[in-house]
Amino acid sequence: MSFFSQLIGTGSAFPEKVMTNADFESFVETSDEWIRTRTGIHTRHIADIRKGESTSSLAIAAAKKALEMAKLSGKDLDLIVVGTVTPDSVMPTTGNLLQAALGAERAFSFDLQAACSGFLYGLSIADQFIRTGAVQTALVIGAETLSTLINWQDRGTCVLFGDGAGAAILTRTSDPEHSILGTRLYSDGTKGDILKIPHGGAKVPHYLPEYRHKDHSIHMQGSEVFKLAVRNMIDASMAVLADHHLTPEDVDFFLFHQANVRILEMCMKTLKVPREKTWINLDRYGNTSAATLPVCLDEAWRQGAIKTGDRVLMATFGGGVTWASGLIRL
C-alpha cells in the first residue's frame, strides 16, 4: 500500500507589537515612501523578548491553531519539524520546546536551518517520513524572530524583516490526489556570502576578540539576492510542475516567499500568474523568513482563497543560499 501526506490544518501567530515604516525614520536615513515603493512593506510585527515573546512562543501559538483546525491534539503527533534560524536556544531545540508545550509525548522533534526555505524543507522531510510509513501525523513549523538578528543601523536590511510563525499538520492518506504531490529542494553554498550572518556561531563565538556584535546580524547583497531569488523561484516552480507534467496554467493558486513585492511581481509576470491567484501579505508582515509560506497558506485557506481540490504551488528562496518549491493538492 502506498502512503501520501494530506494537509489537514494550518495556523499562524504574530507578536503584538507592530512597527511602521515611519518608526524607522527616527533612527536610520529612510522614509515610508522609499520602503513602500522599493519593497511593498508597510508594517511588520516585532517580538518583545522581555515580555516572553520568542520563536517558540509564536510557534506554539501557531501550532495550537493548526491542531484545532485538524481536530487533533499534541498526543496525536509523531513528528515535529521546525524550520528556523532563530531558535530560542541551541539546546533544547525549538522542536523539543513545542513537544513539551503541546504534550506531544510520542513525537520526535528537531529544528532545521534552511533560512527562508525552512518550511518547505520541513514539509518535504515530513512528507518523506509519512510516505515511508514511519510517521502517521506530523507538525511542520516555520517560525522566526529575525528582529533579534537585525543590525538596526543598516537601512538596507533593518526595514525588511519581521517576526512570526506558521504551522501545518500533515497526516497519512492513501489518496494520492489530495496530498503533497511533490517538492524540490536546492542549495548552493558557493553563493553563501550574498546573504549570511558571519559571527555568533561556533566559528566566531561571542567571547573571541574578533567577535563583532554588528556581524552577528544579517549581511545581505540586496541586488544579488533579488536577482537570484527571482530566477531560482521560477526555476524551482517549473521543475516541480514538470515532475508532474503540469504547467503554471494547471495551478489554482501560487504562494511565493514574501521578501519584496517586486520579486513577487517578477515571478508572477514570468509564470503568468494573475494577481487573484496569489497571496500577498508582506505589506503587513515584512519578510518573516521560514514563516512566510505557512502563514500565507493559513491565511489563504482560512479566508477561502484556496479550497479542497485546488492545486497550490509554493516557492521560496533563502540565505546561505537555499531555495525550494512544493506542489500540494488540497
Catalytically annotated residue among 116, 158, 267, 296: 116
Q: How far is CA 144 from the centre of its chain?
A: 8
Taking the complex as a whole, the smallest distance from the CB of residue 8 to ligand COA amounts, in Å, to 28
Q: Which residue among 225, 234, 282, 330 contacts ligand COA (CB under 6 A)? A: 225
| Known catalytic residue at 296 | no
Instruction: Let me know if 265 is exposed, middle or buried by CB neighbors in 10 A (0-12, 13-18, 19+).
Output: middle
Question: Of 31-39, 70-78, 104-112, 247-255, which segment contacts ligand COA by CB under 6 A?
Answer: 31-39
**Shortest Cβ 317–ligand COA spacing (Å):** 5
Other CB atoms within 10 A of residue 139 CB: 34
Task: Please list, in sequence order, all residues whose beta carbon lies within 8 angstroms of the beta carbon of residue 234, skipping any fewer than 6 positions away.
Answer: 267, 270, 271, 315
Determine, following the binding rule CB under 6 A, whether residue 139 of this chain makes contact with ligand COA. no
**List 318, 324, 328, 330, residue binding ligand COA (CB under 6 A):** 318
Binding flag, residue 179, ligand COA (CB under 6 A): no
Q: Is 227 helix (H, G, I), strand (E, B) or coil?
A: helix
SS3 track for 8-61: EEEEEECCCCEEEHHHHCCCCCCCHHHHHHHHCCCEEECCCHHHCCCHHHHHHH
The residue count for the chain: 330
Is position 267 annotated as part of the catalytic site?
A: no
Q: What are the backbone dihedrals phi and psi of residue 62, each rounded to the nearest 5 degrees, phi first? A: -65, -40
Tell me the C-alpha distance between 311 and 303, whole Å.
16
Identity of the residue, 264 or 328, whose beta carbon is nearer to ligand COA in the bound complex: 264
Q: Which of 92, 198, 200, 222 binds ligand COA (CB under 6 A)?
A: 222
Binding ligand COA (rule: CB under 6 A), the pick from 23, 36, 149, 156 is 156
Residues ≥6 apart with Cβ < 8 Å to 197: 85, 149, 215, 216, 217, 218, 219, 319
Which is nearer to ligand COA, 179 or 260 (by Cβ)?
Answer: 260
Residue of the chain from 86, 217, 278, 287 that contacts ligand COA (CB under 6 A): 287
| Torsion angle defined by CA atoms of residues 118, 288, 49 and 110, in that order, rounded to the nearest 10 degrees | -10
CA of 200: how far to CAs of 93, 133, 169, 197, in Å? 17, 39, 33, 8
Residue partners of 210: CB distance under 8 A and separation at least 6: 204
Separation of alpha carbons 84 and 290, rounded Å? 6
Lookup result for grid cell 515532475: 243
Tell me the closest approach of the beta carbon of residue 257 to ligand COA, in angstroms: 6
The single residue of 260, 267, 287, 296 carrying the catalytic annotation is 287
Q: Is 75 helix (H, G, I), strand (E, B) or coil?
A: helix
Task: Specify the residue, 65 or 257, whose C-beta has the smaller distance to ligand COA.
Answer: 257
Cβ closer to ligand COA: 60 or 267?
A: 267
30 binds ligand COA (CB under 6 A): yes
The site for ligand COA, by CB under 6 A, has a size of 22
Does 151 qualify as catalytic in the annotation?
A: no
Give, as ranges, the residues between 51 and 110 that touch ligand COA (CB under 6 A): none
> Would you say 131 or 227 has its CB closer to ligand COA?
227
Site for ligand COA in 37-56 (CB under 6 A): 38-39
Nearer to ligand COA, 70 or 266 (CB): 266
Residues in contact with ligand COA by CB under 6 A are: 30, 34-35, 38-39, 116, 155-156, 159, 220, 222-223, 225-226, 229, 259-260, 263, 287, 317-319
Known catalytic residues are 116, 257, 287
